[in-house]
Structure 1
Amino acid sequence: MWLILTLHLLSACASLPPAIAVTEPVQHITTTNSQLAQVIHSLRQDRQNLTGIYPLSDSHDSFAARANLIHSAEFTLDLQYYIWHNDTSGRLLAQALQRAANRGVKVRLLLDDNNTDGLDYFLSDLDAHPNIQVRLFNPFHHRKMRWMGYITQFERLNHRMHNKAFIVDQQAAILGGRNIGDEYFGAGDGTMFMDLDVLAVGKVVDDINQDFERYWRSESSYSLEQVLQHRSVAPPPVALSPHQQQEQQNQKRNYLNQVAQSDYANALREQRLPLQWSDVALVSDDPAKALQSLGATPTHNIVNDLSRELGDPKEQLLIVSPYFVPTKNGTKELVQLAKNGVHITILTNSLAATDVAPVHAGYAKYRKPLLKAGINLYELKPSIIKPMIFKDRGLTGSSGSSLHAKTIAIDNRSMFIGSFNMDPRSANVNTENGVVIHNPQLTSHFKETLLNNVPSNAYEVQLDSNGRLVWLEHGDYAAMVYQKEPQTTWMKRFWIRFLSILPIEPLL
């Protein structure tokens, strides 16, 4: 009885009031009052129905693009992210936002609240600026004891906003797989993510603007002020010694020097940034997807958008997904495609490379049926020998690598780049976004680059003559064969086998 009473009291204390609605009118930037808009307008001559695309596979390029766009902003900056770390790259971009706000730029930052633990002071410092607004998506009521929220309101808090969007003056946008943090931008020497973004200007940006407004004004979006309820937020204790602070400054200086030499930065200096003009469509979830447990009915979802835009593959299907859980139904569909003659290649993380072991447990059980159907299956090694997705010099010299890019390529015509993983969580639980690019040349180049570099950077998973899984590590002259998942301990493999028998697939 006492446990029921305690949980009832916790539930009452943990409930959130309705979000205070956003009442400010939507701002519209035109070609007459923005220098960026004028430049893009001149580029779009005779291309009004197309979008200019610049792939950002290199981590330093991705940081340089964001930093440059913040510097170029004149009117608005709208940012939407699942994660924003208070680390070297996160602080650099936050400081750039504050400088933009000092110039009069209106900054709106929408963050999912799942990964903001310990960041209330950091975010409050941003929100205190009169030109910066911070809102949290599906927030936790308890700021310190967040586990209480999961106990009492799991159905609501399990739904997260996994979207990524970076919009400048409503004219240019970056979408893709990257959050904001050192592991996404090649800063430091820890494990780095192999990821992919795309810079877009032109027609699709109008849809991206509207999508951001939907999330910013949604019932799940709360102002930071309302979430904190005027509670004072103490600054974090200074734990760095003077020597450590100097080291931190040196790391920042060295990183900025590396970014300054990125291809994107060099192309900007030489005014030769190449854009590939394409037919591009935004694919995204209705923000009401996060309120399904409370009875909301989304008007559209990214799964249907992807199906409509990509269509059915006729010859080739390439799937790149760091968290790949195809489920029984998805596996049956892939097997049927293979039987119909579609050549399928899948790249995901190896057990040694993944940063989310339970997801690997959800994926592992489907390897054999996929392989029996003739599907090519590769698992990324925990270290990269050479760039795989176009290029990424930021991965070299890191202590480890992990796949984080989410991409689907269909035949030689279209490809998806975004936040959507091939797993039940992306399909049914979290909100996602991305773009489908209809460009045969870009799609072919991506596939060729990836497939040429996969053998040296990933284990090829096969079945031996007895139907058992083996992992091939291809070398210059021969392949080494592993009977167990490479670079893993027996304890880790046992843990994965244990997790694979638990009924957790819908959560993965």
Structure 2
Amino acid sequence: MPFFSSRPALDQLPGFALPADSLQTLHSAAAFRHTLLALIRGASRRIHLAALYLQQDEGGAEILQALYDAARSKPQLDIRIFVDAHRAQRGLIGQGRQAGNAAWYRSLAEQQPLTNLAIYGVSVQSKELFGVMHLKGFVIDDQVLYSGASLNNVYLHVGERYRFDRYHLLQHAALADSLSHYLVSQLATDPAVIRLDRPIQLDRRQQRREIKQFRSKLAQAGYRLPGAPDGTPSIHPLCGQGRGNAFNRQLLQLLRDTRRQLTICTPYFNLPRPVLQQIDRLLQQGVTVEIIVGDKEANDFYIPPEQPFKIIGCLPYLYEMNLRRFARKRQGYIASGQLCLRLWRHEANSYHLKGLWLDQRYMLITGNNLNPRAFNLDLENGLLIHDPQQQLATQRDAELAAIREHTRVLQHYRELQKLHDYPEKVRKLLGRLGKLRIDRLFYRLL
């Protein structure tokens, strides 16, 4: 198959040159935790962190205490933490009524008042169900630690269990400046963004107006970039919110331009229709496609049958049903080896990886779940790396080997369970949802 090296739409993408030695790939949640703590303790100028949430547990407390210690010992440090406002003001799903992490933030701020540490709550929708702040990335001085992970015990591997993600450390001042500028200029100063470490008093009607205006602004916002970089490798920050945003358009352009091989990681198998269409087109053109997804027992929401049933525990089964339908329609490609479906599972740990690798030329590092919610509702970002001369091939191959280590290859769609095989309570609930066609709504929102 001919390989076309000239790709004008991507070659002109704004970004930065990326010296090969400026990227370091980490391979475990524990290494991620140790690296983040070391960066916080060594910071001298700024610490700007963006994650879905910072949880009140041992892992989250270790991170927040390190931030307080840094702020107290170095008054010149500018420390800003950005999390989703809705997620911070509620308890854990299925755990009953709880005050949420915001109450913890306020309590610490009252006990240890500091003027150089702020925690911001970002709302991109009036209700969490319809979209969250899903930006990722930790800027510490001139370094960027990028991961799809949030900050709690399981993401940081505090205790016995971990949630597997991707972790990349970049020594790159211009990239750090760009990510930091977006957080400060687009989020920190907007009226819709609230301080979670202060008492929260909101006019709900006014808040809804401000969030709507904020969302309109985000639809036009982007990272401050100098233009198309000279030389390779290069790195290109992407962000977007809402249907048809710049991030989505660039991701689909990457798929359209794939010629030989595509690898996708996603924790929840619920690919958006435009992505599915591109995958089918690639298969028809002879492109090799590999999809690495979590086994249902490696899903965040999986509840073992011997534990009390909760409705949220149906989600892993919904995703498996979706994967089974996908595999059944494409069993011929699976049998020929052109389509490789890998299921990740490692003991009682969970899987949270996202990203794409295309033609051994492009790599997308992102927190985007590659599902309809991410495509249409959430505020997302990512880092696209262009490496046509294979200067980062060793790191790329090592990361993929680590990801594949605890996977099994699906040989036939019948290896996946179907509704009849599920626990009784799961089977009854999903059966009712299917009859009412509510499962389609679930796929759009979860």
> In the alignment, which of 226, 240, 247 is matched to residue 285 of structure 1?
240
In structure 1, what is the Cα distance between the partners aligned to 2:272 and 2:122?
A: 28
Query: What is residue 25 of structure 2 aligned with on the other side?
Result: 55
TM-score by length of 2: 0.72
Counterpart residue number, 2:226: none
| C-alpha distance 322-139 of structure 1, shift in aligned 2 (>3 A) | closer
- Residues 361 and 499, structure 1, Cα contact 8 Å, conserved in 2: no
Instruction: Give distance in 1, aligned partners of 2:253 and 2:238.
Output: 10
AA matched with 2:238: V
Output the CA distance in 1 between the equivalents of 2:402 and 2:59: 31
Residues 380-432 of structure 1 deviation map (CA, whole Å, 9 limit, x = unaligned): 2252xxxxxxxxxxxxxxxx111101121101112111201120011111111
Structure-1 separation of matches of 2:104 and 2:151: 14
1:352–1:486 Cα contact (<8 Å) kept: no
1:100 maps to 2:100: no
Quote the residue 1:176 is aligned against: 147
Q: Which residue of 1 aligns with 2:187?
A: 215
Aligned letter for 1:175?
Y
Shift of 1:484: 5.9
Aligned partners of 2:252 and 2:275 also within 8 Å:
no
Structure 2: distance between partners of 1:487 and 1:106: 54
Q: 1:135 to 1:328 in 2, by over 3 A?
A: closer
Two-structure CA RMSD over aligned residues (Å): 3.1
Please state if 1:119 is matched with 2:101. yes
How far is 1:304 from its partner? 1.9
Match of 1:442 in 2: 392
Using structure 1 for the length normalisation, give the TM-score: 0.63
Q: 1:56 deviation in Å?
A: 2.2
| Corresponding residue of 1:138 | 123
Q: Is the 8 A contact 1:324 1:359 kept in 2?
A: no
**1:409–1:443: 8 Å Cα contact kept in structure 2?**
no
From 342, 360, 366, the equivalent of 1:378 is 342
| AA in 1 matched with 2:415 | V
Structure 1 residue 444 displacement after superposition:
6.2
- Alpha-carbon deviation of 1:220? 3.3
**Aligned partners of 1:176 and 1:196 also within 8 Å:** yes
Amino acid at match of 1:229: Q
What amino acid sits opposite 1:86 in the alignment? Q
Deviation sequence 1:299-351 (CA, Å, 0-9, x none):
x5321233456762111100111012124443232122011011001011122
Deviations 1:235-280 (A, max 9, x none): xxxxxxxxxxxxxxxxxxxxxxxxxxxxxxxxxxxxxxxxxx9411
Q: Indicate the residue corresponding to 1:45 in structure 2.
A: none
**Cα 1:340/1:206, change in 2 over 3 Å:** same
Q: Quote how far apart the aligned CAs of 1:445 are.
A: 4.9
CA distance in 2: counterparts of 1:425 and 1:178, whole angstroms: 18
Q: Aligned equivalents of 1:323 and 1:136: distance in 2?
A: 25
Does the 8 Å contact 1:325/1:359 carry over to 2?
A: no
Do the aligned partners of residues 498 and 109 (structure 1) sit closer, same or farther apart at CA in structure 2, a change above 3 Å counting? same
The structural deviation recorded for 1:157 is 5.8
Does residue 343 of the first structure (1) align with residue 288 of the second (2)? yes
Contact 1:176 1:197 in 2 (8 A): yes
Rounded to whole Å, the distance in 2 between the matches of 1:324 and 1:219 is 36
1:420 aligns with 2:368: yes
Residue 94 (structure 2) aligns with: none
Instruction: Write the deviation string for residues 106-153 of structure 1: whole angstroms up to 9, x where unpaired.
Output: 21111102322222332114543222112111199xxxxxxxxxxxx5
Letter in 2 for 1:120: A
Instruction: State how far apart, in whole Å, the 2-side matches of 1:197 and 1:183 are.
Output: 15
How far apart, in 1, do the equivalents of 2:66 and 2:420 lie?
42
Does residue 1:507 correspond to 2:442, yes or no?
no
User: Which residue type is aligned with residue 95 of structure 1?
Assistant: Q
Q: Could you tell me which residue of structure 1 aligns to residue 49 of structure 2? A: 79
Name the amino acid aligned to 1:53: L
* Alignment check: 8 A CA contact 2:144 2:175 kept: no
Aligned length: 358
Identify if the C-alpha distance between structure 1 residues 449 and 161 changes in structure 2 by more than 3 Å, giving closer, same or farther.
closer
SS at match of 1:93: helix
CA distance in 2 between partners of 1:435 and 1:186 (Å): 24
2:395, 2:420 → 1: CA distance?
30
Per-residue deviation at 1:453?
6.8
Identity of aligned residues (%): 21
Return the alpha-carbon distance in structure 2 between the equivalents of residues 378 and 124 of structure 1: 43
CA 196–69 in structure 1, closer or farther in 2 if over 3 Å, else same: same
SS at match of 1:408: strand
Counterpart position of 2:350: 402
Corresponding letter in the other structure for 1:361: L
- Alignment map for 1:353-368 (pairs within 5 Å): 353-356=298-301, 357-358=314-315, 361-362=318-319, 363-364=322-323, 365-368=325-328
Provide the C-alpha distance between the structure 1 equivalents of 2:134 and 2:27, rounded to a whole number of angstroms.
19
Check the 8 A contact 1:409/1:447 in 2, yes or no: no
Q: Indicate conservation of the 8 Å contact 2:420/2:427, yes or no.
A: no
Residues 211 and 324 of structure 1, relative CA distance in 2, 3 Å threshold? farther
Paired amino acid for 1:163: L
Query: For 1:313-332, what aligned pairs fall within 5 Å after superposition?
Result: 313-332=258-277
The answer to whether the Cα contact below 8 Å between 1:317 and 1:411 also exists between their aligned partners in 2 is: yes
Provide the rounded CA distance (Å) in 1 between the counterparts of 2:200 and 2:44: 30
1:1-80 aligned within 5 A:
49-51=17-19, 52-80=22-50
1:195 is matched with 165
Alignment correspondent of 2:406 = 457
Mark the CA change 1:280 to 1:452 in structure 2 (over 3 Å): closer, same or farther: closer
- Distance 1:219-1:130 versus aligned 2 partners, 3 A rule: closer
CA contact (8 A) 1:413 1:443 kept: no
Residue 199 of structure 1: SS of its match in structure 2?
Answer: strand
Asked if the contact 1:174–1:199 (Cα under 8 Å) also holds between the matched residues in 2, the reply is: yes
Matched to 2:236, the amino acid is: A
Query: Is the Cα–Cα contact under 8 Å of residues 310 and 415 in structure 1 kept in the other structure?
Result: no
Unpaired segments ≥5 residues, structure 2: 1-15, 91-99, 203-231, 302-313
Q: Distance in 1 between matches of 2:317 and 2:392?
A: 30
Kindly indicate whether the alpha-carbon contact (under 8 Å) linking 2:124 and 2:132 is maintained by their aligned counterparts in 1: no
